[in-house]
Amino acid sequence: MKYGISAEEPKKMKVTYIVDKDNRKVICLIENTKHAFEDFINEQDSMLPFVLDGTRELFLEKAKMNNVFRGVATCAPEDEWDEKIGRQIAYARARYKFDVSFFNHANWFIHALDKQIDKLYDTINNYGDKISKKHNYRVERLTEHFGEDFELFKSDKYVVQDN
């Protein structure tokens, strides 16, 4: 899937269940998740260079998630014990924690990308301002020398307008 994470576990992740029938409890561990967000971003080839504010290593450190997410399902005394349902509940809770962490990392990434876009916008704006000032200076000098009827100024396509 190019721009999304599938509902299935990424290949490197491992799901382990610990079943404690005596205490009527099922624990689900989703492990090897530390690099899940980093791997997702690396699959989006063209986006990574835009958020590198510093080094690639710094970005990869920030992109790391927890390595284990834990979900627990406990059967109430008045309920009938069902290991399969316990596994489903425990998995859903662990997966929810993983998804929240993943999307928190995605929000961080979007914010970092937004900051880089703002920097690029400012750079382009500053460059445009410099061009406009230089053009206006040249226009003033040419007008002083040739007068208001100089051919360059009869066409709008050569006039830089300040907004």
Quick check: is 26 in a domain? yes
Asked if 19 contacts 83 with a C-beta cutoff of 8 angstroms, the reply is: yes
Quick check: is 9 in a domain? no
Q: How many domains does the chain have?
A: 2
Which pLDDT band, with edges at 50, 70 and 90, does 159 fall under? Answer: low
Same domain, 95 and 28: yes
Cα angle 97-98-101, degrees, rounded to a multiple of 5: 85
Give the model's pLDDT for residue 2: 37
The pTM of the full predicted model, rounded to 2 decimals, is 0.64
Same domain, 143 and 84: no
Quick check: is 2 in a domain? no
Asked if 75 contacts 86 with a C-beta cutoff of 8 angstroms, the reply is: yes
pLDDT one-digit tens code per residue, 56-106: 666 777 778 888 999 999 999 999 999 999 999 999 999 999 999 988 888
Same domain, 62 and 110: yes
Same domain, 97 and 50: yes
Quick check: is 138 in a domain? yes
Residue type, 115: K
| DSSP category for residue 7 | S
Quick check: is 51 in a domain? yes
> Scanning the structure block, which residue is given the tokens 């260079």?
49
pLDDT one-digit tens code per residue, 2-52: 334 444 555 678 899 999 999 999 999 999 888 887 777 767 655 555 555
Q: Is the dihedral of CA 138, 140, 146, 147 positive or negative?
A: positive
Distances in Å between the Cα of 16 and the Cα atoms of 26, 28, 39, 55, 99 are 10, 6, 21, 35, 17
The phi and psi torsions of 68 (rounded to 5 degrees) equal -140, 135
**Domain extent at residue 143:** 129-158
Asked if 63 contacts 36 with a C-beta cutoff of 8 angstroms, the reply is: no
